Amino acid sequence: MAALAPAGRLLGDVTQRPATQPSTATLAWEASIGPAEWAELQARLRKTNSDIRTRGLRSFRGASEKLLTGYPYNEYYDWDLYFENMYLSYYGVWPYCFSNLKLFLDRQQADGYVNRSLSKQRDRQHFKPFMAQLVVLGCKQNNNDYSWLQGNYYQRLKKYLDKWMSYDSDGNGLPVWNSADAAGTDNQWSRGGPLSSFQDEGVDLASYLVREFDAMTVIAKALGKPDDAAEFTSRSEKLAKLINQVFWDEKDGFYYDRNEKTGQRVSVKSGSAFMPLFAGVAPPDRAKRLVEEHLLNEKEFWLRYPIASYAKTEPDYYQGSKHECNWRGSTWAPYNYMTFHGLIRYGMNDVAKELSRRLFEMALVKNPVLREYYNAETGEGLGQTQFWGFTALYYVMPLELSLGYDPSDLHQPFRPIIPDELGIQFEG
């Protein structure tokens, strides 16, 4: 890695040993990245925590508690909330898993619809399927206490998932995104057309829903609802089968979306294809092809700072920014974080290690501050210049791998790895 500023110019005495002895895995990681980078990492973690405490925890109209945001403006989004709380889970900070979520659910409409943002009521864009996973993430940190869901909030979660499954005009069991923006991949219009005609059965959407039903199984069991748990398990299994029946292209070795209107696969190579790894639904032989032929393909996704959100072979691929959130090739943390854990799930630790190393270098060495997204060819930070959201995950992914810890795992016990291993507390 390139040399960084001398430790004396960093924020405080960041090289001091934690009170608890770090593990052998952490010591090995520290040795591998060098003393300057190690000191800079600790300074960056403290700076990120300070930004969250002072600017990311905000009062909001109608909320009785502070809400969490990763931006310098008063907006709150769906999957951002999941990944922002993933970062806080490294410290065991869990209340913000629920403060935003409760307000989103309090605004739920009678048909189950939950708008994907709080400040801007967007064009019927339903909250992406991460609510139940967020609940499990928070409850695992709070002594597995799911009692607050009893009654109202549990029923609202069920209605929100039923609403997702209602977006299925052809009745094949696969719901659709109604826009690329709703999918979180703002300008990947080629996957399904502009907003007025976008009817994309997304492989990412189906994969997220598999995990949501798995999370609801965990929740239902915790609440003593075995019949509900069995139903959620069945719904997860059915979706998993459909993902492999409908989206997999054997010739190309790739998962493509399907256009519900035409009934045809959408032959656009997006990073969404790697989401079946995160959901654990890809058969091992397909996972192997997907990774070896595409993810590691330097002409497609494995650019200098992978993974690209869009294959370089796509005609509308580009890097940089035209004053928009560019998902036609840029490196984004949500896709990378989920793919990283999918790789580990399939035993591809060497690939996961190299992925996390490059992302760590990009975030820590190539850029002086966290940015919203990055140029996958150069590592240049793009988008928001004041950002303390999901990109902070890049700082900690190598530690997760070295410890064999996955906070996104619905069943793995919680552990506050940064206080345990680095001696850094969220409070400062």
In 3-state terms the chain splits into helix, strand, coil percentages (rounded to 5) of 50, 5, 45
- How many other C-beta atoms are found inside a 10 Å radius of the C-beta of residue 125? 22
In a domain, 241, yes or no: no
- What is the tens place of the pLDDT at every residue in 52-62? 999 999 999 88
Dihedral angle of Cα 54, 65, 410, 88, to the nearest 10 degrees: 10
So what's the pLDDT on residue 68?
97
Report how far residue 217's alpha carbon sits from residue 61's, in angstroms, rounded to the nearest whole number.
Answer: 33
So what's the pLDDT on residue 81?
97
Packed helices 226-242 and 203-222: angle between N→C axes, nearest 10 degrees: 160
* Alpha helix (H) residue ranges in 346-425: 349-364, 393-403, 417-422
pLDDT (average), residues 285-306: 98
Contact 207, 276 (CB under 8 A): yes
So what's the pLDDT on residue 281?
98
In a domain, 132, yes or no: no
Q: How confident is the model at residue 1 (pLDDT cuts 50, 70, 90)?
A: very low
Tell me if the pTM is above 0.85.
yes
DSSP state of 95: T
In a domain, 204, yes or no: no
What are residue 377's phi and psi, to 5 degrees? Answer: -90, -35
What are residue 126's phi and psi, to 5 degrees? Answer: -70, 145
Report how far residue 117's alpha carbon sits from residue 122's, in angstroms, rounded to the nearest whole number.
Answer: 7
Distances in whole angstroms, Cα of residue 124 to Cα of each of 149, 177, 205, 303: 26, 11, 16, 35
Q: How confident is the model at residue 2 (pLDDT cuts 50, 70, 90)?
A: very low
- What is the tens place of the pLDDT at every residue in 58-88? 999 889 899 999 998 888 999 999 999 999 9
- What is the tens place of the pLDDT at every residue in 109-151? 999 999 999 987 655 799 999 999 999 999 999 999 999 999 8
pLDDT (average), residues 290-296: 98
Asked if pLDDT for residue 15 goes beyond 80, the answer is: no
- What is the tens place of the pLDDT at every residue in 303-312? 999 999 999 9
Report how far residue 246's alpha carbon sits from residue 250's, in angstroms, rounded to the nearest whole number.
Answer: 11
Report how far residue 81's alpha carbon sits from residue 68's, in angstroms, rounded to the nearest whole number.
Answer: 7
In a domain, 131, yes or no: no
Report how far residue 301's alpha carbon sits from residue 293's, in angstroms, rounded to the nearest whole number.
Answer: 10
pLDDT (average), residues 395-423: 97
In a domain, 203, yes or no: no
How many domains is the chain built from? 1
Asked if pLDDT for residue 194 goes beyond 70, the answer is: no
N residues, the chain: 428
* DSSP states along 264-332: -EE---BGGGGHHHHHT-S-HHHHHHHIIIIIT-TTTT--SS---SB-TTSTT---S-SSS---SS-B-
CA torsion sign for 337, 340, 344, 350 is negative
Structure tokens that stand for 248 in this block: 């997999």
Which stretch of DSSP H or E encloses residue 226? helix 226-242
Q: How confident is the model at residue 223 (pLDDT cuts 50, 70, 90)?
A: very high
In a domain, 422, yes or no: no
DSSP state of 55: I
Q: How would you class 20 by CB atoms within 10 Å of its CB: exposed for 0-12, middle for 13-18, buried for 19 or more?
A: exposed
Q: Which of 102-116, 175-189, 223-237, 262-276 is predicted least confidently? A: 175-189
Structure tokens that stand for 391 in this block: 């990109």
In a domain, 428, yes or no: no
Structure tokens that stand for 342 in this block: 């999918």
Structural domain range at position 344: 296-408
In a domain, 36, yes or no: no
